[in-house]
Structure 1
Amino acid sequence: MTELELLGPLAYAKPCGQAVLKATPEDFQVDEVLDIPLSGMGEHLWLWVEKRQLNTEEAARRLARAAGISAKAVSFAGLKDRQALTRQWFSLHLPGKADPDLCGAEDDSLRILNAVRHSRKLQRGAHSANGFSLRLTQCSAPAGWMDARCTLLQQQGVPNYFGMQRFGFEGNNLLEALHWAEQGSFPEQRSRRSRVLSAARSYLFNRLLAQRVAEGSWNQVRPGDLLSFTDSHSFFAATQADCQDPRLAALELHPTGPLWGKDLPSSLEDTLQQELDHGLDAHSGLIQWLAEAGLTQERRILRLPIRKLSWHYPQPDLLQLNFVLPAGCFATVVVRELVNLVEPMDMTCAF
């Protein structure tokens, strides 16, 4: 499945150049931002871990084996890219136990940078943001054009699509979800079940967002919209006064779209009708499957603000990008508005 099928159209004019991302893991670096003061005492050992070309779940299993505990006793806030250099927190539940020797978990792909005790385990979604440091190599976009485009994204944000990583290689996670939905059943393995449900839900959100990008309303308030602040999990119905709220222009407040589950979305008027028409008419079987899985209706902001965005050229064909995104958002949806990504040395003209 193609990027256009799984995500949607770009919000801005077609990029004026190409580049390579992830030629090496160091080209895609992620630092988890966790605003939790650690007490230094308690039955949970929190680890600040650097991973290179290693996914989060495998890192958790390695830590569990080294500590001699069940994999269920290892927690993390969120999944990070495998093809990257990432730093994130894990917690190990060690009631009545001393700090274990974790040397067996370490090698060139995993290093433990810090260890601190705390009274509580690390919860999923506990991190507030992720900091990204990206290097776009073989970059052919003119520097002047790139300066203008980065400034535009800084001022207006980008559509908050779920990135291609959510759907697996060639969309296999989504294809598997469609298969399970057609059968009316679910995988028994917890991690696999979570992966396919998430892919299906993300796909439905992306399709609705793609429609609003196409009509130019992804960053505007419409009658019936539900609004949310960037870092909030709550939302409220937009009023006429909200359309003029300066926090919209400041990229602090945003319209939202549905993450499907049981019952109907809470949106109103035109927005509700569009969400029902798009969802129930085109994807009713998938939505019913998500409801049967016990998921509840949630919302996700349609517009992604890009915080602390900076960029420069260490070399003429190397663009360095640094920025911070809210948890659960994808750096690759920022990059796709800047350049067409290609494989190394495949720099044929595509614009």
Structure 2
Amino acid sequence: MSESVNSTSELSLECAYAHGIPIGSALMRTEPEDFVVTEELGFEPTGEGEHAFLIIRKRNTNSEWVARQIAKLVDVKKMDVGFAGMKDRRAVTTQAFTVKITGKSEPDWSELNLNQDGEQIEVISSTYHQRKLKRGELLGNRFNITLRQVDGERSEIEQRLELIRQRGFPNYFGEQRFGFDGNNLLSAAKMFSREMKVKDRAKRGIYLSAVRSYLFNRLLSLRVEADNWQQVIAGDWVWTTEDTRGFTFDNGNPKHVELLGQNRLIVGGPLWGDGRALTQGEALQFEQQISEPEHFWIEGLKAARMDQSRRALQVKVDDLQWHWNDSKKLSIEFSLPSGSYATSLLREICLTIKSG
């Protein structure tokens, strides 16, 4: 793809399965209560400061809309409201919001509460914090997902779940990153080829993120096909479980080999952008299989002054649990780190069909 892209049919959005093709199918999100998400921040609010710190449970509403309601109540700009991550709309989610209230009297937070036409907001608690919550400033999320009308052999599904608990799953970006029918990528292509000017910084960020997610998924899919997505190969960019500062893995370095033997290394795949390649040898060869045919996208990211970064290839879910409510209704519980997608786990089990 050296010039541009005119339709999603030219894109490779399909990703390889790590544990075999899905076993049957199931309905997902028949009710919002079938998709319950609880944010795990990994820290406690300071209890003092110029920002109100709210824990809010919402149903059938999105995070941006809640942020606007908070800004309206306090009479501040929406940019003064912070939250760590976008949460699904058709779900029941619990997350933190901050809002700067310097020089303002604290409102009655119960005025945010809503229960109308299936949309619900409930302020669970309020305190103070010394700074605004930033995107990505969380440890992860806890999921409790119910699949209905599960069509698949129960024993096979449980074997697949056990395999995922033991080996984890590929850290693919979810399809929502790409917009409906991949339209975020089409918009990015028009932006890169100067067919379209994008002045809105938020939209521009969405399009750039879609491109990086697409390229990452392609590389990860390639390594899944090679069955080395959960392994360290020569020249990989890695970091340890204790320190996110990375280094290039050298299988001739005794210290590196020792860390590998202790299972303390995390492999990072590329979020392409400006800067030199961090990988070498075999790992670099895998990345070149993507970067060379996808030159158009990578040059666009560089022109946009996007700094390259790294994202873990594998997600481990040691705490994965499940139980059957009846023969066709399966509940699954697990925690994921910030930035990982529950749908990327579910796709390894069965074909999930969104309901409602």
TM-score for the superposition, normalised by structure 1: 0.91
SS at match of 1:172: helix
Q: In the TM superposition, what are the counterparts of 1:273-312 in structure 2 within 5 Å?
A: 273-279=285-291, 281-312=292-323
- Using a 3 Å threshold, how does the CA distance of structure 1 residues 218 and 186 change in structure 2: closer, same or farther? farther
Q: Which residue of 2 aligns with 1:122?
A: 133
Q: Which residue of 1 aligns with 2:66?
A: 59
> Offset of 1:233 from its aligned partner?
4.3
SS at match of 2:56: strand
Q: 211, 227, 231: which one pairs with 1:216?
A: 227
Offset from partner CA, 1:240-287 (integer Å, 9 cap, x none): 254562443xxx5332210011123211122123313421x2122211
SS at match of 1:155: helix
Contact in 2 for aligned 1:21/1:341 (Cα 8 Å): yes
Q: Which amino acid aligns with 1:203?
A: Y
SS at match of 1:6: coil
- Using a 3 Å threshold, how does the CA distance of structure 1 residues 64 and 130 change in structure 2: closer, same or farther? same
Q: In the TM superposition, what are the counterparts of 1:1-351 in structure 2 within 5 Å?
A: 1=8, 5-108=12-115, 109-183=120-194, 187-229=198-240, 233-240=244-251, 241=254, 242=256, 245-248=260-263, 253-279=265-291, 281-343=292-354
The CA distance in 2 between the partners of 1:100 and 1:224, in whole Å, is 55
Contact in 2 for aligned 1:230/1:301 (Cα 8 Å): no
Contact in 1 for aligned 2:160/2:349 (Cα 8 Å): yes
- Using a 3 Å threshold, how does the CA distance of structure 1 residues 19 and 151 change in structure 2: closer, same or farther? same
Q: Which amino acid aligns with 2:232?
A: V
- Using a 3 Å threshold, how does the CA distance of structure 1 residues 343 and 166 change in structure 2: closer, same or farther? closer
The CA distance in 1 between the partners of 2:204 and 2:243, in whole Å, is 26
Contact in 2 for aligned 1:44/1:120 (Cα 8 Å): yes
- Using a 3 Å threshold, how does the CA distance of structure 1 residues 55 and 5 change in structure 2: closer, same or farther? farther
The CA distance in 1 between the partners of 2:243 and 2:176, in whole Å, is 24
Contact in 1 for aligned 2:138/2:338 (Cα 8 Å): yes
The CA distance in 2 between the partners of 1:85 and 1:232, in whole Å, is 34
Contact in 2 for aligned 1:310/1:323 (Cα 8 Å): yes
Offset from partner CA, 1:173-218 (integer Å, 9 cap, x none): 2221122112176521122111111111100100111111111111
SS at match of 2:293: helix
Q: Which amino acid aligns with 1:93?
A: K
Contact in 1 for aligned 2:50/2:130 (Cα 8 Å): yes
The CA distance in 1 between the partners of 2:275 and 2:285, in whole Å, is 15
Between stretches 324-333 and 260-269, larger displacement belongs to 260-269
Q: Which amino acid aligns with 1:46?
A: F
The CA distance in 1 between the partners of 2:270 and 2:354, in whole Å, is 34
The CA distance in 2 between the partners of 1:180 and 1:122, in whole Å, is 30
Between stretches 93-102 and 204-213, larger displacement belongs to 93-102
CA RMSD of aligned residues (A): 2.1
The CA distance in 1 between the partners of 2:275 and 2:197, in whole Å, is 20
Q: Which runs of 5+ in 2 are unaligned?
A: 1-7
Offset from partner CA, 1:312-340 (integer Å, 9 cap, x none): 00111100000000100000010011111
> Offset of 1:154 from its aligned partner?
0.5
Offset from partner CA, 1:143-189 (integer Å, 9 cap, x none): 22122111110110111100111112211222211221121765211
Q: Which residue of 2 aligns with 1:348?
A: none
The CA distance in 2 between the partners of 1:102 and 1:189, in whole Å, is 31
- Using a 3 Å threshold, how does the CA distance of structure 1 residues 263 and 220 change in structure 2: closer, same or farther? same
> Among the aligned pairs, what percent are the same residue?
36
Aligned length: 340
- Using a 3 Å threshold, how does the CA distance of structure 1 residues 231 and 107 change in structure 2: closer, same or farther? farther
TM-score for the superposition, normalised by structure 2: 0.89
The CA distance in 2 between the partners of 1:298 and 1:113, in whole Å, is 36
Q: Which amino acid aligns with 2:94?
A: R
> Offset of 1:58 from its aligned partner?
1.7
